Amino acid sequence: GAVVSQHPSRVICKSGTSVKIECRSLDFQATTMFWYRQFPKQSLMLMATSNEGSKATYEQGVEKDKFLINHASLTLSTLTVTSAHPEDSSFYICSAREPGTGATGNTIYFGEGSWLTVV
Question: Quick one: which of 71, 77, 109, 118 contacts other proteins (CB under 8 A)?
Answer: 109
Using rule CB under 8 A, residue 54 touches other proteins: no
Using rule CB under 8 A, residue 92 touches other proteins: no
* CB nearer other proteins, residue 32 or residue 80: 32
Residues numbered 18-47 forming contacts with other proteins, rule: CB under 8 A: 32, 34, 38, 41-44, 46
Report the 10 Å Cβ neighbour count for 15: 12
Q: Kindly state the DSSP code that residue 88 receives in the 8-state scheme.
A: G
Report CA Rg, the chain. Answer: 14
3-state helix vs strand vs coil in the chain, percent to 5? 5, 50, 45
Q: 90 pairs with which residues across the strands? A: 116
Site residues (CB under 8 A) for other proteins?
Answer: 1, 32, 34, 38, 41-44, 46, 49, 57, 91, 93, 95, 97, 102-103, 106-113
